[in-house]
Structure formats: C-alpha cells, structure tokens
Structure 1
C-alpha cells in the first residue's frame, strides 16, 4: 500500500529524470523513480530539493518583475552622455539633480514621487541621480551606490534606473542594505559574477566621490537634496529635505514662471 508520506514525496519531487521518458513509457518511468525516491532520499534531502525549486520559482518571479520595471523606465535613454544617470528627456528645460543615499528612508519615500513628476512633465523636466552616501549609512550606502554604477556600466542607463528602484524597494534602510550584492544582482536576472568583479575593482569610486564633493560644496549635509537647474535661464535652485510630488510640482511651476 502506498503511504501518505510517499505521496507527498512524489508530489514534491516530480519527475527526477527527464531522459528516462524517452526510453520507457510514462508509467514505467514514474514507478522506477518512485521506488528510487522512497529508497534513497532522506527527509532532509527531500526538503532541500523542494527548497531549491521554490528558490528557482521565486527568482523567476523576481526576474519577470524586473523586466516589467525596465519597461516602466522607458523615458530613460539606454545611454547618456558622460555616463550620467538621467531619467527623462535629455533636452528637458529643467533638471532635478537629486543628491541621494540609497539607505536614506526619506530618499526612499521620495523616489517614486520624483518619477511621477518627470512622467507628468511632458518632457519639460528630467531627473539626474547623484550619489551622496552618508557616513552613518556606510559601508552599505557606498557599496550600493557603486553597485548601481556597475549596473549602468554593464547594462546602460535604463536598466540602472530599474535596479536603483529595486535597491530602494528592497533595502532595510539606515545602513542595513539589501544583503549580498552579487546575489541581489542575480535576483534581477543580472550577472552576479560581473557585479562581484566590478565591486572588487576601483571602478566608479571617482564618480561617487565627485558627486559627494559637489553636493558638499553646495552646502548639502543630508539627504534628500535637490538642485533644480534651469537650462534656459542658467539659474539653479537648492531644495533640501523630503518633498511631496505636489510640493515639487509647485516649486517647478514657480521656476518656469520666473
């Protein structure tokens, strides 16, 4: 008599050897694999196999979500001059330069609002991301800033924005990070090996340090902070702290009206 525990084993394992299906009938193959499963696998091994299958399924769902997210950032050009991180039309009149820290909770809260401002600006506003990792959030903040640049280098500006979105969504904030960065890259369907090699190199350190110095010279000491550049008049405006999309839209309209 087939025991209930065996039924659970067979349901969890499925077909263990696809190649046998080409040599025997389906029933014969299932009988053989059923016997092998009950005779050779321990309960720990069964749990391990099930966990592996669940991990694969979860990774596929994450990869599918990431591909959809890339499409959501269609306003980001695949490549941008000077390797800048820019979302929106490169010919926009206004640029919101955001000095941001991925580990900053208020940056995380404002991230989606900045995107909505650009999405609704009809090409008048774009958004440039500047790295400003705070010392209290390091090393996670600095390493994740570098990871975003690694993605941009390998996959381009648009994919980097989608990755940045995922960093903000998944981080535990305040220096806790997203965990192992190569593993996080693989969860998005990106190369974990390329991420590891990039992080181990000196690549992008100058870019991140330059962004930080630039913000410091403007008097920025915390995040988020925005410098609004008006490319028509040559003026710039500094806005510090968290702002809602409505507050940002109002500020931008005032600049356009001057």
Structure 2
C-alpha cells in the first residue's frame, strides 16, 4: 500500500493508521503527531475515505497522496490549510481504492483505526493518545 510515513527518530514501533482528512479524531491524532514520534512510534497513514470512493473526499485524499511532498500535504489537509492544486490521476485514485479495500478487509467501523506493523500484532479502533498507544504496543509485545 502507498502509505504516507512519518518516521520516529528512535523507532521502536511501527503502526499503520487508516485515516480520513475530514475525521475530527484523525485530525486530533495528526495534531499530536510529534508526540507519537517522540515516543518511538513511526506512523504510516493509510487512506480510508469514510464517504466511499465516489466521494469528493476520496478525490481530495488522492490529491494529497499524489502530492510531491506527501507528508506536508497531509499535514496541511489535516489542519484545514488547503489541498494540493494538482488533480489526482487515475493511478492516484487506484492507490486510494487499494487502501480503501484494505480497510474494508479489516471491516473498519471508523477512523482512526490501525494495526501494528512491527513486533507483535495489535489492532486498534478509535483515537489513542500517544501514551495510551505506547502502553498498548508495549503490552502487545510482552505477550510473546
């Protein structure tokens, strides 16, 4: 999947987070991004337009995923500071479709939702603050 990655300088854990640029809890998670990174949690954002693939949200998310600087474009979109000017290509829409399909395989009930991608498997639904996320990841990795 074509994720948008924010890498922790001292990476201990990697999580994939299904996100939607219009989701308030996703925006909150994104506004706390540096705190997750500081705790050693790398985040790979996966597009999940909750309104479906035929929505303007899906097109807007595709324009973010097609941007030259994807992390900066996602941060701007999450803050409500605008979207890239470039119209999404079919390849970008196909990428969003693949990510959306992956979310549907997990039977997502909302965003943000995600899973650990390094260490022991862990799935989560809903917003977890950086400390809660770190504790959940630590607990999952102690169950070996």
| 1:162 counterpart = 2:50 | no
Contact 2:113 2:124 in 1 (8 A): yes
- Judging changes above 3 Å, is the alpha-carbon distance between structure 1 residues 90 and 130 closer, same or farther for their aligned structure 2 residues? farther
Q: Does 1:129 pair with 2:45?
A: yes
3-state secondary structure, aligned to 2:115: strand
> Which runs of 5 or more structure 1 residues have no equivalent in the other structure?
1-81, 172-177, 179-183, 186-191
Which structure exhibits the higher relative contact order, with contacts defined as CA atoms closer than 8 Å and separated by 6 or more residues?
Answer: 2
The answer (yes or no) to whether the contact 1:146–1:208 under 8 Å persists in 2 is yes
1:71 aligned residue: none
Q: Number of aligned residue pairs: give it.
A: 143
Which SS does the other structure have where 2:17 is aligned?
Answer: strand
Deviation at 1:224, TM superposition (A): 0.8
- In the TM superposition, what whole-angstrom CA distance separates every residue of 1:121-150 from its partner, at most 9, and x where no partner exists? 1xxx31111010011797332122101111
Q: Equivalences for 1:10-29 in 2 at 5 Å?
A: none
Backbone CA RMSD of aligned residues: 2.6
TM-score, with length taken from structure 2: 0.83
**Match 2:29 to one of 87, 100, 110:** 110
Residue 119 of structure 1 is aligned with which of 38, 51, 59?
Answer: 38
Q: Scaled by the length of structure 1, what TM-score is found?
A: 0.49
Unaligned runs of 5+ in 2: none
Higher helix residue share: 1
* Distance of aligned partners of 1:147 and 1:241 in 2 relative to their CA distance in 1, 3 Å threshold: same
- Residues 255 and 97 (structure 1 numbering): CA distance in 2 closer, same or farther, change over 3 Å? same
Residue 211 of structure 1, aligned match among 82, 99, 102: 99
Distance in 2, matches of 1:138 and 1:105, equals 21
**Structure number with bigger Rg:** 1
Matched ranges for 1:239-250 at <5 A? 239-250=124-135
Structure richer in strand, relative to its length:
2
Decide whether aligned partners of structure 1 residues 237 and 120 sit closer, same or farther in structure 2, where only a CA change above 3 A counts: closer
Q: Are the equivalent residues in 1 in contact too, given 2:62–2:92 (CA < 8 A)? A: yes
